[in-house]
């Protein structure tokens, strides 16, 4: 697929999602970039900001299969992956596929499931396959896990394992809309649009699963100059050295930042990556991969602020 068509598809998808989701430009673009880069997304925000609605709308605009799983403390791994059922008439086992066999999986309130269930997602998010009773079942491409969590309510939740958090390509934050954006949301209701019935918004399918795979291949041809590669590794390396951070990003962070910047460049219609692509995607990739020192947290420092300092300190290459 040509890069001008990649850019047009990216803009068309953002436009279709924008029919329903008012504002939240960074959130929408981040989810689309993750979809094209074959990465998973963790979305954090208080209830009622449209996280579930975003995934519903995206699935309709991409014309692919979508499933939502409400994570609860009694959710078992087999409830996600599936299980073998013995057929008495045929005298053999049949594999009953779970909801994880889809294109877009919404793991709603993902931190409400216990660690045993969380571990079922590790293989899925990294290798795009499920292993049940020694049998490997590949997942259909494209595959994207979008997990949501509430940053305020911690009662009845389980902190996500660090290994799982690191497998999310992006962590995106959802904030309250502005007054003008909230007025536009109410205007949707006044015009008869109902988020529970997306047909009232007339969201059109502007691409397909096959197109998403073609876009991924096109993004793989985007040029990343050695100076930009050094810029990426310098940023990630600084997260391990700055005094505000106790644990920095792993090499997986460097890889994901490389892929994210390359995919964003393709979505902008360019066949080369600029330092601005790296700076734009760095908070998405790194904010959940750095752990602040206790004294920095006491001072009120946030991961985004720490990353902002790092981006100011690292010299930007001239390309």
**One-character DSSP codes across 72-93:** -TT--HHHHHEEEEEETTTTEE
Q: What are phi and psi of 69, to 5 degrees?
A: -120, 125
163 in the same domain as 14: yes
Amino acid 153: pLDDT: 65
Amino acid 199: pLDDT: 75
- Under the banding of pLDDT at 50, 70 and 90, the label for residue 159 is confident
Which range of residues forms the domain containing residue 52?
A: 3-212
| Dihedral angle of Cα 206, 208, 212, 217, to the nearest 10 degrees | -110
Is residue 205 scored above 90 in pLDDT? Answer: no
274 in the same domain as 159: no
230 in the same domain as 199: no
Q: Using an 8 Å Cβ cutoff, are 17 and 28 in contact? A: yes
Mean pLDDT (the chain) is: 88
75-94 pLDDT tens trace: 988 888 888 888 888 888 88
- Under the banding of pLDDT at 50, 70 and 90, the label for residue 50 is confident
144 in the same domain as 69: yes
Amino acid 43: pLDDT: 92
On whether residue 178 sits in a domain, the answer given is yes
User: What are the tokens at 37?
Assistant: 């880069």
Total domains present in the chain: 2
Question: CB neighbours (10 Å) of residue 84?
Answer: 14
Amino acid 154: pLDDT: 66
CA–CA distance, 27 with 30 (Å, rounded to integer) = 5
| SS3 assignment, position 230 | helix
CA torsion through residues 299, 291, 50, 260, sign: positive
308 in the same domain as 246: yes
240 in the same domain as 91: no
38 in the same domain as 147: yes
225 in the same domain as 182: no
92-146 pLDDT tens trace: 888 888 899 988 899 988 888 888 888 888 888 888 888 888 888 898 888 889 9
CA–CA distance, 255 with 80 (Å, rounded to integer) = 28
Tell me the CB-side half-sphere exposure of residue 286, using CA atoms within 13 A: 36
Record the pTM. Answer: 0.89
CA end-to-end distance (rounded Å), the chain: 26
Please enumerate in sequence order all residues whose Cβ is within 8 A of that of 47, keeping only pairs 6 or more positions apart, or say none.
Answer: 150
Nearest to 31 by CA among 158, 169, 206, 218: 169
């Amino acid at each position: 697929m040509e890069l001008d068509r990649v850019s047009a598809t990216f803009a068309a998808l953002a436009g279709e999602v924008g029919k329903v989701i008012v504002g939240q430009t960074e959130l929408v673009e981040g989810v689309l970039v993750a979809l094209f880069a074959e990465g998973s997304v963790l979305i954090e925000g208080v209830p009622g900001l449209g996280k579930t609605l975003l995934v519903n709308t995206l699935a309709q605009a991409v014309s692919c299969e979508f499933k939502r799983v409400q994570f609860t403390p009694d959710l078992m791994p087999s409830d996600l992956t599936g299980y073998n059922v013995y057929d008495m008439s045929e005298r053999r086992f049949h594999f009953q596929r779970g909801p994880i066999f889809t294109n877009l999986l919404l793991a709603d309130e993902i931190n409400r499931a216990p660690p045993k269930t969380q571990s079922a997602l590790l293989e899925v998010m990294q290798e795009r396959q499920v292993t049940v009773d020694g049998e490997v079942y590949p997942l259909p491409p494209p595959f994207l896990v979008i997990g949501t969590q509430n940053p305020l309510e911690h009662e009845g939740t389980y902190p996500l394992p660090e290994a799982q958090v690191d497998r999310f390509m992006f962590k995106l934050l959802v904030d309250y809309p502005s007054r003008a954006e909230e007025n536009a949301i109410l205007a949707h209701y006044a015009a008869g649009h109902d988020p529970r019935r997306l047909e009232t918004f007339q969201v059109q399918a502007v691409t397909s699963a096959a197109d998403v795979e073609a876009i991924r291949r096109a993004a793989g041809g985007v040029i990343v100059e050695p100076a930009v590669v050094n810029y990426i590794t310098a940023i990630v390396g600084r997260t391990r050295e700055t005094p505000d951070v106790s644990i920095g990003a792993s090499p997986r962070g460097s890889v994901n930042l490389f892929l994210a910047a390359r995919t964003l460049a393709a979505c902008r219609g360019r066949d080369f990556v600029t330092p601005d692509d790296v700076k734009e995607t760095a908070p998405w990739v790194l904010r959940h991969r750095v752990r602040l020192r206790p004294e920095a947290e006491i001072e009120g420092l946030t991961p985004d602020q720490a990353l902002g300092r790092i981006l100011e300190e690292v010299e930007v290459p001239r390309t």
